[in-house]
Chain A
């Protein structure tokens, strides 16, 4: 079977997988929502130009698309179990190398091309189109949108190919992955010591956007193509036999959290995270990676906005990012696993909320560390309030809109639009208010009330929802 045929089959499959759940229109409008938001966001750029320079916005956008590439790559490569939990007993072409007369290398190559085309059409193109539509009104050259499309696509592919490469290493040998990660860390540390780490060095597509020269383009392509080619060349589905045996850990773990109630559900959540591919590391990585990007971006912003309190802004963004832990908690679980047991959806949601509260000790630790190392101890209390409120509010919006299926439902155009509309204004208001005075961050505590209301309604709303089967 030639790669183009495989590619077409995978494209149809990806489309049908999403459109089965949302309906064709619901999913087809998803890029339109991105385009509208990019348009509206771009139109507001001149209003905030003094506080938020274009270069800083561009940096945020590139960091965001790099992160999307990482997320798409992680999702696609985490294996059959991952898909089954999310979509029921899904059987995808990507997992068919053992039943079809097609090599796994060819399937994986088609899979990479499919992800590249599909998600560039889904995310990057509409974003660039929205920006392009705004350029005549904000005094920018429309050609800049074409440049943005290319550089943002490069940023997305950089994240995608890096994750593909790391996953191939992991499939070959955990030690190989650990060694490579350690080597990269040493290199990064050495470069940092030598002062060689700049934003452009870390994110060549962004450098290409700032200066569309051959050098950053070549570096970007090299960093995309070499890992992608290596991951195709060395791909394997003959994973080492990692059938592990575990003594009963459910009861001891449940005993530790017995006072919280729902103890066995919480223990199961913990075991799901710890024992699934990548262990706790995948959660920590997916959490710390965007935080690192936020931190780098904030360091840039400080130069432009002298009055900004980085800790408060960081804590608000930390609250949004920490809500993604809920996505992980629901990733390996599906209510169909409980549908034949005497369990209500609300009971599972309650348990997830408790697991979430426990998992939030991680971002809390990050906040304490950030306060201690950045000299921001003076604004720690308002920062803590902002973090807790935004985290609770974002979680509540996620639960209300997506129930136990955030990783699926957020691809529904209408749901995604409501998610953005619910979170963006509150977040932007909080950030701008805290720029005026960090103490205004206490105002974020007002978010606790709608958060409680949304959680209460979300628990009952998802009781009767039936996920379309495959």
Chain B
């Protein structure tokens, strides 16, 4: 059996007026991989995730996610994958539990009680299940967004800054979960500008700067060559900025 491609980006480009947020980016992510897209603030990471999940159409190029064209069948893609956007917060006037139930209904899931309980237990926020989302701390909101993305046990998760607002203990829990999830056959594509996270959990990384993909490759190869991710990243980005 061949390797299953979970994400195939082909010359993806997004322009906002005169600004090119993502510029002819091509890469693939295979099943069972934990791929980290690294880049400084404003480099095009969020735009990339939004295009891959059909939230915004590309100006040119295409993206196939789990075999579906993200621009032509965005609902199909979003039905299959789990997404954690960076900015979005859960609805203010639902409680944490109500929000998970709301998402479960949208995704037509069964066993809603068990699914909710599992995530309240894993991320240790069951005591907040009856609190309105607007009254939750940022960290708890992030836990909730994390829970909604994995509620339907997707084969692929796309996460924009996965550990944002989480305390060190919860960061450990989430990192462990992501590794286990990938070992169990799941695939993760996440973006971050925190290199330590990538260095710790990624199989493969991509470096994006000014909307262009400067590098994509195995993290193992990089470390094997004796280089640190930080110096590699800084050399790439500074070199590109100076070019």
Please report A residues at the B interface, Cβ cutoff 8 Å: 81, 84-85, 88-89, 243-251, 254, 263-264, 268, 271-272, 274-276, 332-333, 336-344, 464, 466, 469
Query: Does A340 lie within 8 Å of B102, measured CB to CB?
Result: no
The answer to whether A340 and B95 touch (CB under 8 A), given A264-B106, A466-B56, is no
**What chain B residues lie within 8 Å of A264 (beta carbons)?**
101-102, 105-106
Alpha-carbon separation in the docked complex, A417 to B53 (Å) = 36
Please report B residues at the A interface, Cβ cutoff 8 Å: 53, 55-57, 75-76, 78-79, 83-85, 87-95, 97-98, 101-103, 105-107, 130-132, 134-135, 149
**What chain A residues lie within 8 Å of B93 (beta carbons)?**
271-272, 274-276, 332
**What chain B residues lie within 8 Å of A333 (beta carbons)?**
91
* Pairs A–B under 8 Å by Cβ, sample size 12: A243-B131, A245-B95, A245-B131, A246-B130, A248-B130, A268-B94, A268-B102, A272-B93, A340-B78, A340-B85, A341-B83, A464-B57
Query: Does A337 lie within 8 Å of B107, measured CB to CB?
Result: no
B90 to chain A, nearest CB (A): 8
Q: Tell which of B53, B55, B78, B107 has the most Cβ of chain A within 10 Å.
A: B78
**What chain A residues lie within 8 Å of B53 (beta carbons)?**
340
B1 to chain A, nearest CB (A): 28
Query: Does A343 lie within 8 Å of B131, measured CB to CB?
Result: no
B197 to chain A, nearest CB (A): 21
Query: Does A245 lie within 8 Å of B130, measured CB to CB?
Result: yes
Alpha-carbon separation in the docked complex, A333 to B134 (Å) = 13
**What chain A residues lie within 8 Å of B132 (beta carbons)?**
243-244, 246, 275
The answer to whether A88 and B87 touch (CB under 8 A), given A275-B132, A341-B78, is yes
Query: Does B75 lie within 8 Å of A342, measured CB to CB?
Result: yes
The 9 closest A-B pairs by CB, nearest first: A342-B79, A340-B83, A245-B130, A275-B93, A250-B98, A264-B105, A342-B78, A243-B135, A81-B92
The answer to whether A250 and B130 touch (CB under 8 A), given A272-B91, A272-B93, A276-B93, is no
Query: Does B135 lie within 8 Å of A89, measured CB to CB?
Result: no
**What chain A residues lie within 8 Å of B84 (beta carbons)?**
340
Can you add 13 more A-B contacts, CB < 8 Å, to A84-B92, A264-B101, A341-B103? Answer: A246-B132, A248-B95, A248-B97, A264-B105, A268-B91, A275-B93, A339-B55, A340-B88, A340-B149, A342-B75, A342-B106, A344-B75, A466-B56
**What chain A residues lie within 8 Å of B89 (beta carbons)?**
84, 89
Q: Quick one: closest A residue to B54, CB to CB?
A: A339
Alpha-carbon separation in the docked complex, A392 to B111 (Å) = 39
Secondary structure call for the A interface: loop
**What chain A residues lie within 8 Å of B98 (beta carbons)?**
246, 248-250, 271
B141 to chain A, nearest CB (A): 12
A354 to chain B, nearest CB (A): 15
Q: Quick one: closest A residue to B158, CB to CB?
A: A340
**What chain B residues lie within 8 Å of A250 (beta carbons)?**
94, 98, 101-102
B108 to chain A, nearest CB (A): 9
Query: Does B94 lie within 8 Å of A336, measured CB to CB?
Result: no
Alpha-carbon separation in the docked complex, A254 to B88 (Å) = 24
The answer to whether A254 and B94 touch (CB under 8 A), given A243-B135, A244-B132, is no
Q: Quick one: closest B residue to A80, CB to CB?
A: B134
Alpha-carbon separation in the docked complex, A23 to B112 (Å) = 44
**What chain A residues lie within 8 Å of B85 (beta carbons)?**
339-340
Alpha-carbon separation in the docked complex, A38 to B159 (Å) = 51
A331 to chain B, nearest CB (A): 11
Alpha-carbon separation in the docked complex, A250 to B105 (Å) = 11
**What chain B residues lie within 8 Å of A268 (beta carbons)?**
91, 94, 102
Query: Does B135 lie within 8 Å of A271, measured CB to CB?
Result: no
The answer to whether A340 and B55 touch (CB under 8 A), given A243-B135, A268-B102, is yes
Query: Does A342 lie within 8 Å of B95, measured CB to CB?
Result: no
The answer to whether A337 and B101 touch (CB under 8 A), given A271-B94, A276-B93, is no
Q: Quick one: closest A residue to B80, CB to CB?
A: A342
**What chain A residues lie within 8 Å of B149 (beta carbons)?**
340
Q: Quick one: closest B residue to A273, CB to CB?
A: B93
**What chain A residues lie within 8 Å of B107 (beta carbons)?**
341-342
Q: Quick one: closest B residue to A343, CB to CB?
A: B106
Query: Does B87 lie within 8 Å of A89, measured CB to CB?
Result: yes
A385 to chain B, nearest CB (A): 36
Alpha-carbon separation in the docked complex, A422 to B11 (Å) = 44
Alpha-carbon separation in the docked complex, A341 to B75 (Å) = 8
**What chain A residues lie within 8 Å of B55 (beta carbons)?**
339-340
The answer to whether A276 and B92 touch (CB under 8 A), given A246-B132, A247-B130, A271-B98, is yes
Alpha-carbon separation in the docked complex, A245 to B85 (Å) = 26
A19 to chain B, nearest CB (A): 15
B232 to chain A, nearest CB (A): 31
Alpha-carbon separation in the docked complex, A249 to B97 (Å) = 10
Alpha-carbon separation in the docked complex, A469 to B86 (Å) = 13
A404 to chain B, nearest CB (A): 14
**What chain B residues lie within 8 Å of A341 (beta carbons)?**
78, 83, 103, 106-107
